[in-house]
Structure 1
Amino acid sequence: MTTVGKTALAVALAAVATSGATLTAAPSRADDPVMHNVRYVITSASPIWADIYYLDQQPAKYSDYSHNPYQYTPNVQADVGPGHPWTSPPVMLTDPDHYAMVVVSTGTEPGTPMFHCALVVDGVVVKSNDGPKGTLCSLRTW
């Protein structure tokens, strides 16, 4: 991870932590699945208009996602840059290991902004990645 990426990520995570929008799962019955609070963070070393897709809801079964992935992964276009990260709203998932995902690219924009993504589950960065024109953060193997 680049120094710029580390600094921007630290700023973004501090903002997430102090936003007051932390969600906690309500007490549940033993047979209810545990909900995990997932956040996605995108930063870049240079200012850019970014094209972002992220999983905002977990499908009931994989075939639902497979047949219509865009139903579960909205497209967001956002200005990102040093000190100006994009942070997703909270996403509650029961299985972030298989479904949590964010991808960013320059789309049709010129330049090489050096993107950085972070996947944060229950307040812990579980995956991060860098890429010159795009990058993916995901725990899934498919």
Structure 2
Amino acid sequence: MTGRRLGVGAATLSALLAAATGSVVSAGHALADPVMHHVRYTVTAQNPIYTDIYYLDHQPEKFSDYSHNPYSFTPHVDVDLGPGKPWSFDLDMSNPDDYAMVVASTGTEPGTPGLHCDLAVDGAVVVSKDGPKGVLCSLRNW
């Protein structure tokens, strides 16, 4: 009978170790680095114009960080755009569907320069928009 108890005890120990190892391995997968995607914003104009551009330049760790202070993630640049003078910005993000965004506006500048934006993820343009004085390219739906 002692042999049986050792066998049952060994089997129980093996099962417990297997379960513990499984949870450690599972936790390891949860902590793996996220898949990064290359994002490129491009803004162009059909006619020369001084343009305000806001864009997300780095992804927040969690939405509440962005919600509490969105301008810490979306810098503003003033750019002279025109034929052959595009503006672009590249970055890597793990979740472009929720955060990738670029917006351009001429504000009170006179004229309608015909703004255009492209948002590309991993080399493929996924959003392309046109506007007479302003344009927004974004994947997010909030």
Q: Indicate the TM-score class for this superposition, using the shorter chain for normalisation.
A: 0.7 to 0.9
Could you list the runs of 4 or more consecutive aligned residues of structure 1 that deviate by over 6 angstroms after TM superposition?
Answer: none
CA displacement at 1:108 relative to structure 2: 2.9
Alignment of 1:62-141 (within 5 A): 62-88=63-89, 90-141=90-141
TM-score by length of 1: 0.76
Alignment of 1:7-18 (within 5 A): none
CA displacement at 1:92 relative to structure 2: 1.1
- Structure 2 stretches lacking a partner, 5+ long: 1-27
In 2, the alpha carbon distance for the partners of 1:39 and 1:140 equals 15
CA displacement at 1:111 relative to structure 2: 1.4
Larger radius of gyration: 2
**Secondary structure, aligned partner of 1:65:** helix
* Larger relative helix fraction: 2
CA displacement at 1:62 relative to structure 2: 0.7
Supply the AA of the counterpart residue of 1:135. V
Deviations 1:3-43 (A, max 9, x none): xxxxxxxxxxxxxxxxxxxxxxxxxx962101111110000
TM-score by length of 2: 0.76
Identity rate, percent:
65
CA displacement at 1:77 relative to structure 2: 0.7
Q: How many residues were matched structurally? A: 113
Deviations 1:30-79 (A, max 9, x none): 62101111110000111001100000000011111111110000001111
For the aligned residue pairs, the C-alpha RMSD in angstroms reads 1.2
Supply the AA of the counterpart residue of 2:60. P
**Secondary structure, aligned partner of 2:59:** coil
In 2, the alpha carbon distance for the partners of 1:138 and 1:52 equals 13
Supply the AA of the counterpart residue of 1:74. P
- Structure 1 stretches lacking a partner, 5+ long: 1-28
